[in-house]
Amino acid sequence: MRRLTFGRDDVIFKEGEFALSMYEIVSGSVGIYANYGTSSSRMLAALREGEFFGEMGLAECYPRSATAVALEDGTALDEIDADEFSSYFRDKPDTVLAILRTLSARLRETNARYLEARQAVHDAIEAERAGAKKERSLVGKLTSMLRAARSAGAGQPGRS
């Protein structure tokens, strides 16, 4: 395991890169972004000390789904590569359990957001069928949901 230190706004990894490791935050904080560096950049999560990120790509051997950026100077991370991760099952079962709990919470939240969006689409379609006013249109409902998700998501920990 390697200890890495980053300055504010340093990119830890980029969306689309193949995963070679995951990280545990020792100190500081990390932002997880979709479309980082573009006009549609959006912070998905702000993670703090003790939290993990990058585990999805490492476990799946799949490209990164987001970009990770240090949010403060002196952000320290422990980098865990694939070989070390495999040994965690034997040597650090409590850490593996913490990672599984984090993944479960992230999946549960994603499911809740999906169901909320699905219900909004259904409600909007039904309202349009019933001749509802324009402000209750599908686009209007989805725009409102997107604004609410952006407000809530920027400060919520636990997603990557």
Query: Which token pair is 120?
Result: 């909004």
Q: Which residue has the tokens 């904080």?
A: 29
Note the pTM of the prediction, 2 decimals: 0.67
**In a structure prediction context, what are the per-residue pLDDT tens digits for the chain, which is 160 residues long?**
899 999 999 999 999 998 888 999 999 999 999 999 999 999 988 999 999 899 887 777 788 989 999 999 999 999 998 888 888 778 888 888 888 888 777 778 878 777 888 888 877 777 777 776 554 556 666 666 666 666 555 444 444 4
What is the enclosing helix (H) or strand (E) of 109? helix 93-129
| Contact by Cβ (8 Å): 3, 77 | yes
| Contact by Cβ (8 Å): 60, 18 | no
Of the chain, the end-to-end C-alpha distance in Å amounts to: 21
What the chain holds in terms of domains, given with CATH numbers, is 1-91 (2.60.120.10), 96-151 (no CATH)
3-state secondary structure of 59: helix
